[in-house]
């Protein structure tokens, strides 16, 4: 069952040649600038708004969405879509308030902002945090889920899948951000088309199962009827998955902290817009917000379909792991195996596109932070542009190798998407706090930022593990609520430390703010209103 036919290999080969060929063309089109550090890391001035938006989504959507989010859709339903739909609203806020500040102050990396606003100590600590998270949480989880999916639909071993994905990602990444940005346009087209085909198959299969002859609209009706508990966006405390998505916290609490830190203070994401002008960057972010609305259709719906089919006696064996336990993350790979020859190749290409694009984006951010914020600052202050590019390429290779070696340790995970969100969330509250305070409160001191930086992981860890250490005497808060508590505590601590310093003492270099840069075009306003209207309708219908 887990075999590709000749037609599938042909489709995948065409996809691979198209990506490699297009990347080679983009790389050589402006070969004269290929040794420029800013061109390699940021593709300065060469990405259009549609390339920025597509690259954001292609890099964001990965195996953690196709596999992990489908698994969560199987387990807890449409509510997991809140990560995508709230991200659409967050992108609007980032486009209006965050990106103008970065571009006005010529910020190219997130540690550079911290260095400019506070000091090198804060910058370096956060740079190390980011590098560790990118390599040992983000890269490893993407590779693991990708390899898991590919072994489910092909005879390729888990270890060879890891090697293949890393090598493919390296081919794209070593061309620099310009190659990543423009190949991501093709990648996002492939992953959306492939994802929609898989969703269509799932709904058609469901309709057949209930006697509606493949009518997908009837299939949607069956889905609502057979899995009513899977179509609520807001959980109450009686829901067994309340700890993962704690009620209104997804609208007014920790989800905002999670999203603002990810979309607004994350090198991996902001890097795509930092080389563009403000108008182009904003258009790109708005385009990405529209694409985010579509993600649950290709990532969550298939998981819910598999839940209904499994509940009605299908795929009992396929949804089990080696120990005979139900494993939600098997939902999407099981569904892909049902695709006919040729279409299975399209879905395989879509999955690979998502994995490779995401790996390439993260690897490029790792190389950017290491080269500009670690190597140039501490090892070779006089490094030439060419040297920085070479160091950046070696950083990519080493990071990918480390991630590949660690990846097999993740085999024990149940819902990998939730693992990623929770453990990245250990540093998100502190990151968001020091950025927001640095943006909008001049009194914030470097000492306050350093304290916030150092406390974010300990506070998050204590809130997570104290209920275990005290045998339940301390409340066991859902992780999104822990993020809210950590964020508030760090902000309060930073305020106290900043106010304890006399006003006459310097607080660090101030960030230049011009209120006119927060003004947006009428077209941006219209697009934002449409997105907010769609989100309001979705949460009203599926409350």
Q: At what angle do helices 278-299 and 301-311 cross, to 10 degrees?
A: 10
Burial annotation 433-460 (CB, 10 A radius, 16+ → b, else e): bbbbbbbeeeebbbbbbbbbbebbeebb
Convert the pLDDT of each residue in 95-142 to its tens digit: 998 888 888 888 888 888 888 888 888 888 888 888 888 888 888 888
Task: Give yes or no for a contact between 464 and 482, defined as CB atoms under 8 angstroms apart.
Answer: yes
Residue 32 scores a pLDDT above 80: no
Average pLDDT over residues 217-234: 84
As a whole number of Å, the end-to-end CA separation of the chain is 39
Given this model, what pLDDT does residue 33 score?
Answer: 44
CB-based contacts of 159-163 (< 8 A; 24+ apart in sequence): 159/408, 162/404, 162/407, 162/408, 163/404
Residue 287: predicted pLDDT: 92
pLDDT at 491 over 90: yes
Question: The tokens 């941006």 sit on which residue?
Answer: 524
Say how far apart CA 364 and CA 62 lie, in whole Å. Answer: 16
Higher pLDDT, 243 or 520: 520
H-helix segments, 312-445 = 331-336, 343-369, 385-406, 416-424, 428-440
Query: What pLDDT digit, counting tens, does each position of 58-83 carry?
Result: 777 776 677 778 888 888 888 888 88
- Asked whether residue 275 carries a pLDDT value surpassing 90, the answer given is no
Neighbours of 162 (CB within 10 A): 22
* Averaged pLDDT for residues 244-252: 79
- Model confidence at 34, in pLDDT bands (50, 70, 90)? very low
Confidence of residue 471 (pLDDT cuts 50, 70, 90): confident
Q: What is the predicted pLDDT for the residue at 195?
A: 81
Least confident of 234-238, 351-355, 362-366, 379-383: 351-355
pLDDT over 70 at 236, yes or no = yes
Torsion sign (Cα): 316, 322, 326, 332: negative
pLDDT above 70 (res 427): yes
Give the residue ranges of DSSP H helices in 300-384: 301-311, 331-336, 343-369
Across all residues in the chain, what is the average pLDDT? 81
- Maximum alpha-carbon separation in the chain: 77
What's phi and psi for 326, nearest 5 deg? -65, 130
DSSP state of 409: G
Helices first, then strands: H and E counts in the chain: 26, 0
pLDDT over 80 (residue 24): no
Query: Lowest-confidence range among 59-63, 173-177, 197-201, 314-318?
Result: 173-177
Query: Six-digit token pair at 60?
Result: 């964001």
Q: Of 80-94, 199-213, 412-426, give the lowest mean pLDDT range.
A: 412-426
Write out the two tokens for 361.
């984006």
pLDDT tens digit sequence for 360-397: 878 888 888 888 888 888 888 887 778 888 888 888 88
| Residue positions counted in the chain | 543
Answer for the pair 353, 58: CB distance below 8 angstroms, yes or no.
Answer: yes
**Structural tokens at position 32:** 């004269």
Read out DSSP for 78-128?
A: GGGGHHHHHHHHHHHHIIIIIHHHHHHTT--SHHHHHHHHT-HHHHHHHHH
User: What structural domains and CATH numbers belong to the chain?
Assistant: 6-27+46-418 (1.20.1730.10), 425-512 (no CATH)
Chain-centroid distance of CA 522 in Å reads 29
Contact 199, 301 (CB under 8 A): yes
The arithmetic mean of pLDDT across residues 467-474, rounded, is: 78
Model pLDDT, residue 412: 63
């Amino acid at each position: 069952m887990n075999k590709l036919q000749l037609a599938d290999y042909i489709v995948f080969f065409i996809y691979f040649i198209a990506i490699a060929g297009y990347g080679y063309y983009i790389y050589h089109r402006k070969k004269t600038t290929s040794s420029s550090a800013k061109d390699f890391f940021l593709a300065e001035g060469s990405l259009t708004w549609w390339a920025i938006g597509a690259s954001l989504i292609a890099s964001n959507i990965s195996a953690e969405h196709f596999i992990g989010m489908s698994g969560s859709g199987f387990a807890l339903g449409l509510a997991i879509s809140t990560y995508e739909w709230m991200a659409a609203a967050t992108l609007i806020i980032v486009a209006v308030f965050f990106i103008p500040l970065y571009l006005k102050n010529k910020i190219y990396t997130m540690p550079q902002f911290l260095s400019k606003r506070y000091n090198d100590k804060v910058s370096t600590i956060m740079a190390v945090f980011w590098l560790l998270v990118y390599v040992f949480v983000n890269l490893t989880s993407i590779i693991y889920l990708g390899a898991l999916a590919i072994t489910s639909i092909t005879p390729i071993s888990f270890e060879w899948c890891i090697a293949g994905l890393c090598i493919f990602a390296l081919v794209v990444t070593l061309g620099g951000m310009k190659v990543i940005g423009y190949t991501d346009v093709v990648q996002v087209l492939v992953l959306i088309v492939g994802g929609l085909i898989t969703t269509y198959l799932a709904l058609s299969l469901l309709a057949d199962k209930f006697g509606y002859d493949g009518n997908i609209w009837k299939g949607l009706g069956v889905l609502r009827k057979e899995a009513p508990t899977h179509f609520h966006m807001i959980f109450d405390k009686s829901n067994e998955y309340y700890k993962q998505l704690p009620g209104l916290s997804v609208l007014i609490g920790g989800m905002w902290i999670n999203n603002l830190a990810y979309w607004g203070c994350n090198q991996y994401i902001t890097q795509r817009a930092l080389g563009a002008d403000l108008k182009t960057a904003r258009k790109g972010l708005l385009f990405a917000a529209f694409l985010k609305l579509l993600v649950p259709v290709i990532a969550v719906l298939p998981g819910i379909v598999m839940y209904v089919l499994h509940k009605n006696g299908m795929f009992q064996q396929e949804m089990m792991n080696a120990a005979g336990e139900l494993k939600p993350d098997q939902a999407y790979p099981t569904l892909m195996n049902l695709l006919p020859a040729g279409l299975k190749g399209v879905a395989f290409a879509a999955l690979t596109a998502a994995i490779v694009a995401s790996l390439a984006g993260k690897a490029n951010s790792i190389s950017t932070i290491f080269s500009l914020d670690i190597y140039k600052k501490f090892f070779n202050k006089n490094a030439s542009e060419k040297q920085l590019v070479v160091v950046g390429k070696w950083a990519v290779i080493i990071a990918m190798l480390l991630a590949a070696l660690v990846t097999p340790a993740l085999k024990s995970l149940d819902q990998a998407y939730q693992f990623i969100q929770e453990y990245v969330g250990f540093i998100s509250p502190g990151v968001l706090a020091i950025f927001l305070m640095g943006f909008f409160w001049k009194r914030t001191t470097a000492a306050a930022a350093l304290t916030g930086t150092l406390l974010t992981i300990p506070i998050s860890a204590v809130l997570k593990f104290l209920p275990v250490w005290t045998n339940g005497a301390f409340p066991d808060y859902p992780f999104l609520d822990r993020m809210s508590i950590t964020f508030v505590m760090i902000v309060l601590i930073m305020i106290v430390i900043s106010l304890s310093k006399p006003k006459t003492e310097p607080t660090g270099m101030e960030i230049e703010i011009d209120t006119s840069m927060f003004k947006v075009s009428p077209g941006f306003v219209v697009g934002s209103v449409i997105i907010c209207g769609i989100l309001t309708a979705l949460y009203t219908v599926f409350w």
